[in-house]
Amino acid sequence: MSDATPALEITNLTKAFDGTHAVDGLSLKVRAGELYALLGPNGAGKTTSLRMVTGLLQPDSGEIKVCGIDAQLDAVKAKRLIAWVPDEPLIYDKLTPMEYLEFVAGLWGIDADFARYEADKLIDTLELGEKAHERCQGLSKGMRQKVALAGALIHNPKLIILDEPLTGLDAGAAKLVKEVLRARVAGGVTIIMTTHILEVAERMADRIGVIDHGRLIAQGTFDELRAGDNNQGKSLEDIFLELVEKERATA
Amino acid sequence: MSQPATLNWFARHELTLFWRDWLSMMSAGRSAREGVVKLVLGLAAIGLHGLAYSLLAEPLSGGFSADKAKLVMLTGSLALAFFMMMSQSLEAVTRAFYTRADLDLILSSPAPVRHVFAIRIGTITLTSAAMATVLAAPFINVAAVLDGPHWLAAYPAMLALSAIATALSILAVVTMLHYVGAARTRLISQIIAAIVGASFLIGIQIVAILSTGSMSRFSVLSSQSLIAAAPDLTSLLWLPAYALIGTPWALASLSLGALVLLVGVIHLVSPRFAHYSIATAGLSQRAVRQAGRSWSFKRRLPSFARRTPRQVLRAKELMLLKRDPWLVSQTLMQILYLIPPAIMLWKNFGESASGFVIVAPVLVMAIGQLAGGLSWLAISGEDAPDLIASAPLHRRAVLVAKIEAVLSVITLIGGPILLVMAIASPWAALMTCLGVLAASTAAIAIQMWFRAAAKRSNFRRRQTSSRAATFSEAFSSVMWAGAASLAVAGSGFAALFAALALLVLGFAWVVSLPRQGG
């Protein structure tokens, strides 16, 4: 993959449920090595779009390329490069965090020595040490989120997709997760995340995409969004709400 | 401000929840099906009353008089029902302590905890009585019509037995919580529930095998030696049977005794309900880990060994199956039901092959049902469906690994019995083995066609996701069991049963097509 190849390229993606379009001709490009925040009101089509990228949903039409690989033609190859962390971390209650990491590493076919090294490192970095060998069934939501994140990171994905990664985390855990994500981006990994905490997007994201009614309605850096009509000095929250309002008025 | 959470208010709340929960379970959460459920239940009730009439019309034609033979039969049947109630209530009482649902809300409210406990226990009593009575009801009604309304006393008698079962279950669970701790009680209780539920039936079957060479419990209950050894008609042993047939003093004694016992236990335990509920809610990881340490000889630490994704998936499935308390108790139950055929096998070993005609279908049925449960857990009961679906694996590889895990457990359980059978009668073993394979494959295929991602904790409700799948699985097992039995006997009708089993499978496949997106 050359540096110019986008980490994710979506073209005219559509998905309808019972005749209602959840995603309606969505097109966007996410550059390699950037942290891209995908914003949108509830029901805008964010999660549906990302689930199609990760192969969890079949699109009705459109094209998805992950690091230049057609995700529909060569799903297994594309999946090898992606990690997906849903908003509700689904992990195995009867496995310990360490066993979970061993399992994920095995699924992605990671070299055993490397996996063991990475697992130890992640357990340490995400401060899961005390719970590493205890079953996940009694972990708090924040701890479960960290275990799910560790699972996403253990196979060194090129593209990490996170759905509301900071929901349910306390301030300390949220700071830790943000640091881990920043470090990955600094190492060349691309991160796409959805969030309703707009301050997080404002502070962390290299670029921001705003989606509503399954379509991209604005995209750019925070400064670029702020440079738009009468947006000078406004917070991302204000800009976002105005964009959504304008979209709904014209829809 | 009004009085918070009175006993009546709680009773209404619980009954509303119970009714909605039950309806949702029966209709798989689809309101359109509620009408169908009611219709099916109505038809089943008519059918069962017809069956009861055909069975009771002749025995009750000359009126009913209590003699030793009849009291032995009634008491034996009541004991069977009581053990089933014990199993049911033991499991329900455990759930009452462990299921969080609205318990956190209620315990944090100013509502009196003893009210919650009393109502929950009352609901459990009614539920387990209803479960046992639902099959007996047509017989009770028909007997009341044919022989007089005194038979209606069977309803309060069953309720009294259920109250006793519930009271004993509460005492058992609380004793375990006190002495064994919250971390282990759930598993132990589920195992005991499985053993208790099956023990009487299995015990009586074993006695039947050893004394009469048949697996029918009726052969024991109607045996002359048992009737001769039974105490005379004035013995207190017959109290439940006398209550069942409507003898006033017996019914009053049983009901009063049951009421005193249940109220006494509720009174004794309710002040500690909050304490135990909080203990089960606060099951810290430390507690779980301690339990893990003492239960296994060696705690397994991840080895990160070099394995293919398929091996990793298979290992994960096996580990989760092993750690699933529900599955442990369910598997134990299936294994318990294999004991009578195993004894039958042992008794017939080296004698004649006729015993295998009975052993084969039981083995095929039990393993077929076990395969169904295991397949659901492995194929549908996936706790991290997103992780598996987003992994760089073909769907087929995932499915194959899960099926391999199921087959390995089945082989482990059925293999030794089949091996012993093979030494005694290779033909019977071969036919039974083919039956087991066919029934298991059919069960796995049905679970695969009807798969719908669900949490493993929904195992209890797996039947509700598709009635077609449930019935197909059961009919398929029955047909393959029949085919195996006839094949062992050398009858050509085995082919007919096999063809019927394939028809059932074909029906399941056609019905499942919309789910498969076909």
Which of B285, B328, B516 has the highest number of chain A CBs within 10 A, making it the mutation to test binding with A? B285
Residues of A in contact with B280 (CB under 8 A): none
Q: What is the pLDDT of residues B6-37, one digit of tens each?
A: 677 777 777 777 777 776 666 655 655 667 76
Residues in B touching A104 (Cβ below 8 Å): 387, 391
CA B57, chain centre distance (Å): 31
Give contacts of B 367-406 with A, CB under 8 A: 383-394
Residue among B256, B252, B6, B276 at smallest CA distance from B118: B6
Summary mean pLDDT of chain B: 79
Give, as one character, the DSSP assignment of residue B381.
Answer: B
- Reported as a pLDDT band with limits 50, 70 and 90, residue A136 is confident
Tens digits of residue pLDDT in B155-192: 999 999 999 999 999 999 999 988 888 878 888 888 88
User: Phi/psi class of residue A127: alpha, beta or left (left: φ > 0; alpha: ψ in -120 to 50)?
Assistant: left
Q: Is B306 on the interface with A (CB under 8 A)?
A: yes
pLDDT at A92: 86
Query: For position B465, what pLDDT does the model report?
Result: 60
Distance between CA atoms of residues B222 and B242, nearest Å: 18
Q: How confident is the model at residue B295 (pLDDT cuts 50, 70, 90)?
A: very low
ipTM given for this complex? 0.76
Contact criterion met (CB < 8 Å) for B285 and A92: no
Which two tokens mark B189? 């209780």
Whole-model pTM?
Answer: 0.68
According to DSSP, the residues that pair with A193 across neighbouring strands are: A37, A162
Identify from B301, B322, B387, B402 which residue to disrupt to test chain A contact, counting A C-beta atoms within 10 A and taking the largest count: B387
Exposed, middle or buried: residue B299 (CB in 10 Å: 0-12, 13-18, 19+)?
Answer: exposed
Q: For residue B3, what is the DSSP state?
A: P
Q: How many residues does chain A have?
A: 251
Selecting from A82, A94, A99 the residue whose C-beta is nearest the C-beta of B390 gives A82
Is the dihedral angle over the CA atoms B255, B256, B257, B261 positive or is it negative? positive
**What Cα–Cα distance (Å) separates residue B153 from each residue in A1, B143, B159, B251?**
81, 11, 10, 7
Q: Which residues pair with A20 in a beta bridge?
A: A17
Confidence band, pLDDT 50/70/90 cuts, at residue A12: very high
Four-point Cα dihedral A82, A83, A85, A91, nearest 10: 130
Asked if A55 and B390 come within 8 Å (Cβ–Cβ), the reply is yes
Instruction: Write out pLDDT tens, residues B68-117.
Output: 888 888 898 888 888 888 988 888 888 887 775 566 666 666 667 777 77
CA–CA dist B197, B190 (Å, integer): 10
For A78-98, what is each residue's pLDDT tens digit?
998 999 998 888 888 888 999
Q: Three-state DSSP class for B100?
A: coil
CB contact under 8 A, A55 and B307: no
Quick one: pLDDT band at residue B284, thresholds 50, 70, 90?
very low
Q: Contact at 8 Å (CB) between B386 and B462?
A: no
> Which comes out higher in pLDDT, residue A31 or A137?
A31
Chain-centroid distance of CA B409 in Å reads 20
B113-127, B399-413, B416-430: the lowest-pLDDT one: B113-127
Residue-level pLDDT at B107 = 64
Please tell me the distance from the alpha carbon of residue A78 to that of residue A55, in angstroms, as a whole number.
Answer: 9
Interface test with B, best of A107, A111, A114 (most B CBs within 10 A): A107
State which of A3-7, A139-143, B199-203, B438-442 shows the largest mean pLDDT.
B438-442
Residues B239, B250: contact at Cβ < 8 Å?
A: yes
The CA distance from B283 to A170, in Å, is 22
Q: Which helix (H) or strand (E) holds A167?
A: none
B101 or B425: whose pLDDT is higher?
B425
**Structure letter (DSSP) for residue B378:** I
- Give the residue from chain B lying closest to A133, CA to CA: B301
Q: Which residues of A147-170 are buried (b: 16+ CB within 10 A; e: fewer)?
A: bbbbbbbbbebbbbbbbbbbbbbe
Residue A35 has pLDDT above 90, yes or no: yes
More confident residue, B439 or B417: B439
**Per-residue 3-state assignment (H helix, E strand, C coil) for B395-410:** HHHHHHHHHHHHHHHH
Angle between helices B309-322 and A97-107 (to 10 degrees): 150
Q: CA-based angle B64:B70:B76, to the nearest 5?
A: 135
Buried b (16+ CB within 10 A) or exposed e, A28-65: bebbbbbbbbbbbbeebbbbbbbbbbbbbbebeebebb
Handedness of CA B482, B487, B489, B494 (dihedral sign): positive
Residue A98: predicted pLDDT = 92
Contact list in B for residue A131 (CB cut-off 8 A) is 285
How confident is the model over A163-185, as pLDDT tens digits?
988 887 888 888 999 999 999 99
pLDDT of residue B119: 80
pLDDT of res. B287 = 38
With an 8 Å Cβ cutoff, are A133 and B385 in contact? no
Cβ within 8 Å, pair B306-A93: no
In the block, tokens 């008519």 appear at B46
Residues of chain A whose beta carbon is less than 8 angstroms from a beta carbon of chain B are: 54-56, 76-77, 79-80, 82-84, 86, 90-96, 98-99, 101-109, 111-113, 115-116, 119, 131, 133-135, 137-139, 151
So what's the pLDDT on residue A107?
85
- Best CA proximity match to B363, nearest among B444, B480, B472: B480
**Closest to B208 measured CA to CA, from B199, B220, B200:** B220
Q: How many residue pairs bridge chain A and chain B with CB atoms within 8 Å of each other?
A: 108
Predicted local distance difference test score (pLDDT) of residue B216: 65
> In the predicted model, is pLDDT for residue B354 greater than 70?
no
Q: Please give the average per-residue pLDDT across A201-208, as a whole number.
A: 91
Q: Is the CB of residue B417 less than 8 Å from the CB of residue B363?
A: yes
Residues 6+ apart with CB under 8 A from B383: A90, A91, A92, A93, B455, B456
Q: Between B113-147 and B248-281, two packed helices, what is the crossing angle to 10 degrees?
A: 150
CB-nearest partner of B285 from A98, A113, A135: A135
Task: Considering only the beta carbons, identify the residue of B307, B308, B392 that sits closest to A80.
Answer: B392
Rounded to whole angstroms, the maximal C-alpha distance in chain A is 56
Q: What is the pLDDT of residues B190-233, one digit of tens each?
A: 888 888 877 777 777 777 777 666 666 667 777 788 888 888 88
